[in-house]
Amino acid sequence: MKRDPLAAMLFALGLAGCAATGTGAPSAPAVAPAWLAPLPHGGDVAELRRWWTQFDDPLLARLIDAAETASPTIASAAARIADARARRAAAGAALLPSLDANASVGRGRQDVSLPVGTSESIGLQASWELDVFGRNQAARDGAEARVEGAQASWHDARVVVAAETANQYLTLRACESLLAQARLDADSRAETARLTELSMQSGFESRANAALTRASSAQGLVGVKQQGEQCERDVKALVALTGLAEPELRAQLAAAAARLPVPAAIAVPAVPAAALAQRPDVLARARDVVAASADVSEARAAQWPRITLAGSVGAARFDSGLGSLSGTTWSIGPVVVSLPVFDAGARRANVFAARARYDEAASAYAATLRNAIRDVENALIALQGTADRSADAQTAADNFEVSYRATEARYKSGFGTLFELEDARRSALAAQNTLIDLRRERVAAWIALYRALGGGWSLADERTAATSPVRPPSS
C-alpha cells in the first residue's frame, strides 16, 4: 500500500509559511516521516471524493448548509476578514504619497504698503515617506499575511461547523435506531408479561414469574422513555445548530427516522503530503508566522532614520482697489530626515517583543502540524478498527437474535424457563445496540477524517468542473 512521506511537505510548508524578510523560516517540526495507521478499503479507489453529497442522505447536506448560514462562528470569521482587509489597505496606503487639496479666501491688508484686498488660493500638497529601510513594506506584507490567515480561519470555521452538524445529525439518527430497538424490546416484554399472566390465571405459572414479567415489562418502558428523552435533546441541539424552525426540522427528519447516513465508496488509498498543506488551520498558523516575521522586520526598520519628502503646487490671486495680481506657486521640500537618538530602549524592546511573537507563532505552527498528523492517524485507526469489528458484531447480533427467538419459542411451549428467556433477551438487545453503536462510530470516523483533512482533498488531475470552490466573503 502506498505511503507518502511528509518530510518534503513539512520542508515546503516551512519555507512557504515563513519566507518573510528579517528572520527566515523556522526549522521544520519533528514529526513522523510517513503515515503509520492502516488505510481503509485497501486503496481500491484512487482519491477522496466530495464528502457530504457522497452520503446517501440529502438531508445531511441541507442541514450543513443551514448550519453554516446560521453559525455565529462563521459570521465572526467573516468579520475578521473584513477587518484584516481594511488594515491591509491602510498599510498599503503608507507606501504611496499622500495628496491633500486646500483652498483659502481672505480679506485684509497684507502689508502697510498695500491697500485692503481679497486674497484667494487653491493648491495641492503632497507628502511621501521614502521607505528606504522597508518599514512600510514589512507592515504591508504582514497585513497581507493576516488577510490570508483570516480567510483560512473562515474556511476552518466552515469545516468545524459542518463536522459538528454532521456528528449531531448522526447522533440523533443513532438515538432513533436505539429507540426503535427499545420499543421492539418493550413490546416483546409486554407480550411475555401478558402470556405469563394468562398462564398464571390458568395455574400453569407461579405468581413470582408473573411478577417478574410485569417488572421486566415496566423496565422496558422505562428504557423507551429514557431513550426518547435523549432523542428529544438531540433534536433540540440540531435546531440550535441549524437555526431552522423546530416544526420544519421535525418534518424533514421524519422521512428517514432511525436511519443512519452512510457514505458511498469513499476511500483513502493514500494520504498525500499535500493534504496537510490545505488544512485551513495549518495554513492560518503558517500565515501567522509570515505576519510575525514581517513584524520583526518592521520593528527593526523603525530603528533607522525616516525620510519624508514634501511638495506643493497651487494658484493664488490678490484683488484690491489698485488692481489684481495672480500666478502659480510651487515648492519641493523640505526633505525631512528623522533620526532616532534616544528613546530609552523602546525601539529595541519592540524588536525583542516582535521576535518573541515570532517564536510563539512558529511554535504554534509546529504544534498544529503535529496535531494534524495525529488527527488523521486517529481517524484512520478508527476506520480500520470499525471495519475489523463489523463482521464479528453482525455475526454476534444475528446469532443472539436466533438464540432469543428459539428460547422464546421454547418458553411459550413450556420447555424453557423465564430466566433463560430474559437472559437471551438481554443478550440480543445488547448485541443489536452494539451493532448500532459500531455503525455510528464508523460514520463518525469518516466525519473525523473530513475534519482532520480540512474538508477532504482532490488530486491534481481531478476535474475542477465537478465542484466550484467556496470563496471567503468578498470585501
Domain of 459, CATH number, reads 1.20.1600.10
Evaluate whether residue 473 is within a structural domain: no
Domain CATH code at residue 116: 2.20.200
Is there a single domain that holds both residue 374 and residue 323?
A: no
Alpha-carbon distance of 228 to 99, in angstroms, equals 70
Is there a single domain that holds both residue 47 and residue 105?
A: no
Alpha-carbon distance of 154 to 471, in angstroms, equals 10
Please identify, among 313, 339, 365, the residue that sits at the C-terminal boundary of a domain.
339
pLDDT of residue 452: 86
Is there a single domain that holds both residue 292 and residue 400?
A: yes
pLDDT of residue 474: 63
Give the total number of structural domains in the chain: 2
Is there a single domain that holds both residue 28 and residue 42?
A: yes
pLDDT of residue 16: 38
pLDDT of residue 131: 86
Please identify, among 324, 339, 354, the residue that sits at the C-terminal boundary of a domain.
339
Task: For the chain, list residues with pLDDT below 70.
Answer: 1-50, 110-114, 265-278, 321, 456-475
Backbone angles phi, psi at 456, to 5 degrees: 85, 180
Q: Residue 443: name the closest of 65, 71, 51 by CA.
A: 51
Q: Are 138 and 298 spatial neighbours (Cβ–Cβ below 8 Å)?
A: yes
Long-range contacts of residues 192-200, Cβ cutoff 8 Å, at least 24 apart: 192/216, 192/217, 192/408, 192/411, 192/421, 193/217, 195/412, 196/418
Evaluate whether residue 216 is within a structural domain: yes
Pull the grid cell for residue 168.
Answer: 449531531
Is there a single domain that holds both residue 248 and residue 387?
A: yes
Evaluate whether residue 139 is within a structural domain: yes
Evaluate whether residue 450 is within a structural domain: yes
Is there a single domain that holds both residue 375 and residue 275?
A: yes
Q: Are 369 and 282 spatial neighbours (Cβ–Cβ below 8 Å)?
A: yes
pLDDT of residue 224: 95
Please identify, among 318, 339, 360, the residue that sits at the C-terminal boundary of a domain.
339
Is there a single domain that holds both residue 20 and residue 67?
A: yes
Sheet holding 306-320, edge to edge: 98-108, 117-130, 306-320, 323-338
Is there a single domain that holds both residue 144 and residue 74?
A: yes
Structural domain for 125, as ranges: 97-130+305-339
Is there a single domain that holds both residue 461 and residue 403?
A: yes
Is there a single domain that holds both residue 190 and residue 120?
A: no
CA angle (342, 347, 353) in 5-degree steps:
150
Pull the grid cell for residue 153.
Answer: 480561519
Evaluate whether residue 441 is within a structural domain: yes
pLDDT in tens, 38-67: 544 333 333 334 678 778 888 998 999 899
Is there a single domain that holds both residue 358 and residue 433?
A: yes
Show the DSSP H helices in 44-134 as ranges.
58-70, 72-93
pTM for the full predicted model: 0.79
